[in-house]
Structure 1
Amino acid sequence: WIGIFVFAAGFATFLKYAFSQGWLNENVRIFLGFLAGFIFAGLSHHFYKRKYYALSWGFFSLGLILFYLTVFTAFRFYKIFNSRVSFILFFAITISGMSYSVKRNSFSVGFLSLLGAFATPLLLADPSVQIYYEPKLFSYLLIINLGVVYISLFKKWRALSFTSFIFTLIYLGGWFLEEYRHSDFKLALSFSIIYFIVFSFIATFYSLRRKEKSNEEDVILAIINPAFFFFIFYHLLITEGMKNLLPLIPLFISIYHFILAFFVRKLNSKDILLYYALSGTSIGLLTLPIPLAVQNYWITLSWAYEAVILIFAGILFKRITIRTGGLLLYLLVILRLIFRDPFISYNGEYMIFLNMRFLAMFLSCLSFPTGAMLLKNSSLPEDEKNYSGYLWGIFLMLIFWIFNFEIISYFTSKVSLKDLSLIFTSIFWSIFALILCQSGGKVKNQFMKTVGLALFYITFFKILFIDTFIYEFHYGFPFLLNLKFLSLVIFLFSAGYIAWFYFRTEDREVGKILSIFIIILLFTGMSEQVYSSVNYYWKKSQQLALLLLSCFWVFYGFVLLLSGIIKKNIFLRVSGLSLFGITLLKVIFVDLQSINMLYRIFLLFGVSIIFFTSGYFYRRKGII
């Protein structure tokens, strides 16, 4: 083969040198070129009879190369042949080479003939020649591809099919980019559809007719063929202003590939690789009509319930590929719900939760439990049924995300209410944590309970360090009857209910932790309400605020102490006594130095009465 290419290069150099030196006339040179080609073809036949197959194929390939070079020289340099004659000769050489390759079982000759066939339009390319342009180019490419189909009937040379596809793409794509005009629409669309069908047939031919397993070339061709022609059809319709027809392109291609996958499954069930490739391509194409027809969050909503339909269809028809396609489509829904849809802004006013963006996202989230219930109630294997748990988990995560984002985005868009997002997120977190813990307990799902408890802990620290001390606005009546205190009450109720729930089970430690959270938050929240309502809102003196704060601390400590005595709970008793000590230090070092004489007398008498009463109960219960 090295010798063949070296000889061909030498012959080409000879033709060029003979042309420059004026040796012989042009007709003689062309005659010698054809003569040399026929001589090598004859030698090929001679050596084939002697069973020197490799040498025979090499000589015939050399003859083909000489024929191509001779015709090209006669056309381009000597102007002996016009474009029509040259095209006929090129075509005849190609057909001869392909026929020889099939008859002599020579892949190399077939491949070389195919390269020559696709090189012909380039060899004839000239501003005065129209062979490169439609409709001749389209017809010529179709003939070549049908020739490849013909070879496929006899030989398993998949590389020829793939090579033919690549060169067709190059020519067709180049023509669309450089030469396409409005008047070419029908012609271009017709030939594109024909090419698409031809290559889909080539990709599935070995599986459907020969009942063989497909290899990598078949699978790649089955995938990239619809992908490329989708862009061709898309470009054609966009150019012609037919945007309303765009969703039909992937829909029809998807249906076509579903049909191909069905026949592959029916006629050659062992070809799993091609079946999955066709099914996966079809499912992937099904995701495209929606974004071509609608926009924004409607894309997500449509994909979400398309995933439900695919899961249902996969269960109904017992096809794992369809079910898998539905689950994979959920991934796109998740990505859009997290990174795309929440950030779609409104230009005007809108109501929180009662707007199309949130409703569309909420309905999209509801598709996940729908898919989960379909999987759970099916007759699928247990490993597939287990996916329902993951879908429920994703649903809860997405619900938490979209509600938080809706609350934050709504209130931050209004300057006067932007800090309300802190209050309402705390309310939502408390309720959501309660739902997680309660639901997890009912269905005995430890993961849900763990997530719910973690959210309780996070909410506790958020209220304690952010809402209580950093966020100073109450939004409502200064003392207790305000949104800030409402968020605290909702957390206390939620945490108290879950603490009671855990106290009834064996995991009492969790109940104790939540009880501590309740005691701490009730103390800090009430303290903040007392001090800020008197000092900031009612504009009373700071002395009165300090006095009332100390009174509340003593009262709160007394309640803790009394509760600890009655329930015989040492933690409550110690907490109450500790708060007494802190209050006493506050009275001595802060209050007595800051408040007037009347307030001092009232404070000291009040504190002493509480201390005496506490000691009485301690003594009565026999604790000391």
Structure 2
Amino acid sequence: MSDHQHRIEQLNQKLEALLSKQEGFAKELMALYREIEDLKTGNERSAIEQVIQPQIEKEQHQPTSVPKEDVIKENAKEPIASPQAKNDVLIEVRPKSKTKSNWEKFIGENLINKIGIIITVLGVAIGAKYSIENNLISPLTRIILGYLVGLGLIGFGIKLKAKYENYSAVLVSGALAILYFITFAAYSFYDLFPQPMAFVLMPIFTAFGVVAALNYNKQVIAHIGLVGAYAVPFLLSNDSGNPQILFGYMGIINIGILVIAYKKYWKPLYYSSFIFTWLIYGSWIGFSFNYEEHYTTALIFLSLFFLIFYATFLSYKLKASEKFKKSDIVLLLLNSFIFYGFGYGLLSQNETGMQLLGVFTLCNAILHFIVSLMIFKRKLADRNLYYLVSGLVLVFLTIAIPVQLDGNWVTLLWAFEAALLFWIGRKKNVVVYEYLSYPLMILALFGLLQDWTSSYAFNQFTETPMKPILNVTFMSSMLFLVSFGFINWINTIPHQAEVTSAKTTIGKIMSFAIPSILLFGLYMGFFLEIQLYWDALYYGSEVAIADENQYEYFKYNPDLKSMGNIWLFNYSLLFIAILNLVNIGKIQNRVLGIISLTIGLFTLYAFLSLGLYELSELREGYIEQTDAEYYETGYLNVVIRYISFAFLGFLLFSLYRLIRQSFMKINFSKPFEILLHISILWVASSELLHWMDISGATQGYKLGLSILWGLYSLVLIILGIWKNKKYLRLGAIILFGITLIKLFFYDIASLNTISKTIVFVSLGILLLIISFLYNKYKLRISDEDAN
């Protein structure tokens, strides 16, 4: 028990020490409150002192020794108060509704004053505009009154700064906007100031705005005073403004923002300035730009704004070494490409500028190279900023070549550079380089499309038509595929696929886009060559013919056009079938499987509708021999259909194999079986018409098809009963219903008596057989339905 007693005494001593410290803290706290209240209201006792003092006296009279039981009870009842609380355990304060208090504080102290100053500024602007339009007061009086209002607000705001800092900041910022407003109006509309005086006042106001924003440490001053000043030229605009003055005015504002950004780096301020500046400049270029008057002005201020925002972006990055973010990439790229886009457009309108487009692009690359070199040598920022600026060097070097030159090799340069940047980005895990490769991939794709259009579309009208396969465009297509094949291989390496970029939204999109571009290029590369071969044969079959009036015209072999279309269908069927089998054997990718399944179904429908029509045209050419005196039409017009049917069967086989793979995770068996029967019936109908046409029968579409469809309905009924597949039996009934509708509304109108007899008897017998089968196997069908 002595040990327990000794332990209790130790704890009591510690508790006494803590209580004595607490009394000391309370006295110091009381002294601080007294001093604050004395400074505010003289010697008047504050409400807080009145509450705290009795509590201190009470604590002073309490014994320092606390029994063990009381300590335990006190600790069990409530936790120790947070040391950050104003009164700690000295007083009990009932919590108030924080939500109500916070909203009330926000509205009363922040929102209302901002709305008020905006309304005040707008009121001054509207009043000034009204006085201008109605000539109520002279221009000089308007300007003097405007300055008095602005200076009065500044003086009033400064006086209130000690007690009402937020309110004072809003007043000062509004006053600053008014001073901008009045100065611009005095010079631009009334000519009361000479140009030098206006440009002296503007920097003074800007400097004042910078100093005030930094002194108050309030973004609201910069936003209302500087960014809000962008609206000044438009509030008093009567379409007489001078663009040199407008953009000079904006340049001064932006320089002020540069200074603030260097000191504080207030991003919302930078964003607002960036958006307003380029919107105003772009609107002027789009609606008010006059080449004869404004060409030099547009180029000068375009360069000035670009350099200001470039410097603003880099200044804080280089000073504070802030971590690089995605928004920084967007801002730097936007600024660079807006400058390049406007610059390119302006130079394109000038005869000399047209010759300097490549030099202009190269200058962009040199500028970014100098900045990247400075960052690298001085190690001024993180490596991602260096990589981004260096990437811009590569981008503008890439653009400079096709701007000055053209040709298929430009597409290859873009493709190879995209592959290089993507490889560096993944190998070194430099996300910026990988992101820079994405637009180059898109550029390479559009370049390839442009090459295809210019090479294939009008090839037959050129003096030296291209030869299939042995041409530069096909070789460039193959090298393009090599580049994207390399990119796709890098993208699918397991240990490389876990990099940061692969997990982003754009990374996920590009993981689908890269193989899609590869497959598209592979398909179209050979598709266009097949088309080129048959087009060459078609246009090579040209024959000059003179009619009875001796007018000469040219004739081409139509069978060659249809034959070319059929081989394009055959190629498409083969390509998708091979893609399916490769996916089954090697890749085993579900997304690719779904895509190839969808494209395969679309191609299947296209062949059954358009492909069979082209085969019928070849058949007609073989039968009629219309142009036999000019062209030889042989058995190939008939044999080609069976080659196409082989390719169609290969596609159906690959689709059947694909849907049975476990990685597909879809149940497509029933739809595929229905699709298979539709395809068989479609092809069988075409084949029946084909041979009836060759034999000279005239009732193929009526008598022949009706009997065929009735027979196939019977086959489906038999299969449905034998395999216990209700959907086949239902399909048979639907098919037979269509056949009967065709019979009564289409066939009998032109059939002779014998044909009508044959078709009615045939379909009647088929119906009886179907009914017999249903009755014979009704128990089996009932059991199937019950199960």
Normalising by the smaller structure, the TM-score range is 0.5 to 0.7
The alignment-based identity, stated in percent, is: 22
Moved more, 397-406 or 78-87: 78-87
Q: CA deviation at 1:354?
A: 0.8
Equivalent position SS for 1:381: coil
CA contact (8 A) 1:372 1:391 kept: no
Residues 485 and 357 from structure 1, CA distance in 2 versus in 1: closer, same or farther, beyond 3 angstroms?
same
Equivalent position SS for 2:320: coil
CA contact (8 A) 2:175 2:225 kept: no
CA contact (8 A) 1:237 1:246 kept: yes
Q: CA deviation at 1:332?
A: 5.5
Q: CA deviation at 1:75?
A: 6.3
Task: Determine whether 1:368 maps to 2:481.
Answer: yes
Give the whole-Å Cα distance in 1 for the aligned partners of 2:222 and 2:616: 82
**CA deviation map 1:320-365 (0-9, x unaligned):** 4444554554456556767983473246367876179974155225
Task: Determine whether 1:106 maps to 2:218.
Answer: yes
Give the whole-Å Cα distance in 2 for the aligned partners of 1:77 and 1:463: 72
Equivalent AA in structure 2 for residue 246 of structure 1 = L
Task: Determine whether 1:467 maps to 2:615.
Answer: yes
Equivalent AA in structure 2 for residue 236 of structure 1 = L
Q: What residue in structure 1 maps to residue 720 of structure 2? A: none
Alignment of 1:94-493 (within 5 A): 94-115=206-227, 118=230, 132=242, 134=244, 141-169=250-278, 172-173=281-282, 178=288, 189-213=299-323, 221-241=331-351, 242-250=353-361, 252-253=363-364, 269=382, 288-289=399-400, 292-293=403-404, 303-314=414-425, 318-323=429-434, 325-326=436-437, 329-331=440-442, 341-342=452-453, 344-346=457-459, 348=461, 354=467, 359-361=472-474, 363-373=476-486, 375-376=488-489, 381-382=496-497, 393-407=519-533, 409-410=535-536, 413=539, 415-424=555-564, 426=566, 444-445=585-586, 466-467=614-615, 470-473=618-621, 483-484=636-637, 487=640
Equivalent AA in structure 2 for residue 165 of structure 1 = F
Equivalent position SS for 1:156: coil
Q: CA deviation at 1:372?
A: 1.3
CA contact (8 A) 2:459 2:465 kept: no
Normalised by the size of structure 1, how large is the TM-score? 0.59
Give the whole-Å Cα distance in 2 for the aligned partners of 1:84 and 1:437: 77
Give the whole-Å Cα distance in 2 for the aligned partners of 1:430 and 1:14: 77
Equivalent position SS for 2:556: helix
**CA deviation map 1:284-309 (0-9, x unaligned):** 76775566446687765554445444
Give the whole-Å Cα distance in 2 for the aligned partners of 1:334 and 1:63: 54
Normalised by the size of structure 2, how large is the TM-score? 0.49
RMSD: 6.3
Q: CA deviation at 1:234?
A: 1.4
Residues 132 and 159 from structure 1, CA distance in 2 versus in 1: closer, same or farther, beyond 3 angstroms?
farther
Equivalent position SS for 1:212: coil
Equivalent position SS for 2:523: helix
Q: What residue in structure 1 maps to residue 105 of structure 2? A: none
Give the whole-Å Cα distance in 2 for the aligned partners of 1:303 and 1:105: 48
CA contact (8 A) 1:94 1:117 kept: no
Equivalent AA in structure 1 for residue 317 of structure 2 = S
CA contact (8 A) 1:407 1:425 kept: no
Give the whole-Å Cα distance in 1 for the aligned partners of 2:182 and 2:563: 87
Q: CA deviation at 1:229?
A: 1.5
Give the whole-Å Cα distance in 1 for the aligned partners of 2:144 and 2:611: 97
Residues 339 and 370 from structure 1, CA distance in 2 versus in 1: closer, same or farther, beyond 3 angstroms?
closer
Residues 139 and 407 from structure 1, CA distance in 2 versus in 1: closer, same or farther, beyond 3 angstroms?
same
Give the whole-Å Cα distance in 2 for the aligned partners of 1:212 and 1:424: 62
CA contact (8 A) 1:30 1:74 kept: yes
Equivalent position SS for 2:619: coil
Moved more, 288-297 or 472-481: 472-481
**CA deviation map 1:553-598 (0-9, x unaligned):** xxxxxxxxxxxxxxxxxxxxxxxxxxxxxxxxxxxx9xxxxxxxxx
Residues 117 and 207 from structure 1, CA distance in 2 versus in 1: closer, same or farther, beyond 3 angstroms?
same
Give the whole-Å Cα distance in 1 for the aligned partners of 2:237 and 2:124: 24
**CA deviation map 1:192-226 (0-9, x unaligned):** 33431221222344434323356787555424322
Give the whole-Å Cα distance in 1 for the aligned partners of 2:137 and 2:599: 94
Q: What residue in structure 2 maps to residue 597 of structure 1? A: none
Q: What residue in structure 1 maps to residue 157 of structure 2? A: 44
Give the whole-Å Cα distance in 2 for the aligned partners of 1:303 and 1:358: 20
Equivalent AA in structure 1 for residue 560 of structure 2 = L
Equivalent position SS for 1:153: helix
CA contact (8 A) 1:283 1:322 kept: no
Q: CA deviation at 1:398?
A: 2.0
Residues 66 and 355 from structure 1, CA distance in 2 versus in 1: closer, same or farther, beyond 3 angstroms?
same
CA contact (8 A) 1:223 1:278 kept: no
Moved more, 440-449 or 195-204: 440-449
Equivalent AA in structure 1 for residue 158 of structure 2 = H
Q: CA deviation at 1:417?
A: 2.4
